[in-house]
Amino acid sequence: MVMYSRSILNKAGQCRKRQCGKRQCGKICQISIHKIVVDLTPVSAEVNNTVWLWDSSQERARRYVNELEADFTLVMLMDYVDESYVLLKRLMCWELQDVLYITKNNRSYSFKDYVPSEKETAMLRRWKAVDYLLHDTFNKSLWRKIAAQGPDFFEEVQHFKEVNSRVNMYCAKLKKGGSNLTVEASRWNSQFEVDAEFCRVLKSV
């Protein structure tokens, strides 16, 4: 299982005006050419330092992504984190409480919502052809798996969001000696209790 976000494509390619090699690149600069790919592979000079330009290495890039797709049964996307968790729950036959999470490291920064221009997007797609291919491949794969789950999938996603929000608020406001939170039984979960220990474990993940 792997989880990553499309936003990293933009974030990895954005920065304040600085030198990229010997030329000025404005907001787009080479922080890491294939940031997602590097995360999924042992650090190698070939992956980290080579610009896999789409027009010169399509076959190699597709072969690499196909190998990754064969290795991972499920790749979760941060863009669709709740859908990913519900799908994981179903595939693993887990309980709802097994996939609850607490949002961490969620903060604002100047370029978080920056939308690249068409020129910048084209440049990023050329520089990060493998990352874009990787994201597009697993995005399609995720939605194919979701489509096979049946019409009640999104009802469960909505239920999961509501329960996860309740648990997050409870854990954030929990005081020593406070009462437990009871999550009632539903079509998708049996009744369970959330206590201080549950919150402690959830926060440590």
Residue 204 lies in a domain: no
Q: Are 74 and 91 in contact (CB under 8 A)?
A: yes
Domain count, the chain: 1
Q: Are 35 and 7 in contact (CB under 8 A)?
A: no
Residue 105 lies in a domain: yes
Residue 101 lies in a domain: yes
Residue 49 lies in a domain: yes
CA distance 196 to 181: 10
Query: Looking at residues 101-124, what average pLDDT do you find?
Result: 80
Residue 197 lies in a domain: no
Return the pLDDT at 114. 79
* Mean per-residue pLDDT over the chain, rounded: 78
pLDDT in tens, 37-63: 555 554 444 444 444 444 556 777 788
Query: Looking at residues 99-126, what average pLDDT do you find?
Result: 82
Highest mean pLDDT among 8-12, 31-35, 156-160: 156-160
Residue 6 lies in a domain: yes
3-state secondary structure 143-184: HHHHHCCCCCHHHHHHHHHHHHHHHHHHHHHCCCCCCCEEEC
Domain that holds residue 113: 2-152
pTM, 2 dp: 0.73
Residue 147 lies in a domain: yes
CA distance 113 to 14: 11
Return the pLDDT at 130. 80
Return the pLDDT at 111. 65
Query: Looking at residues 146-157, what average pLDDT do you find?
Result: 96
Q: Residue 194: is it exposed, middle or buried by C-beta count within 10 angstroms (0-12/13-18/19+)?
A: buried
Which range among 102-111, 140-149, 150-159 shows the weakest confidence by mean pLDDT? Answer: 102-111
pLDDT in tens, 59-92: 777 888 888 889 989 999 999 999 999 999 999 9
Higher-pLDDT residue of 195, 35:
195
Residue 181 lies in a domain: no
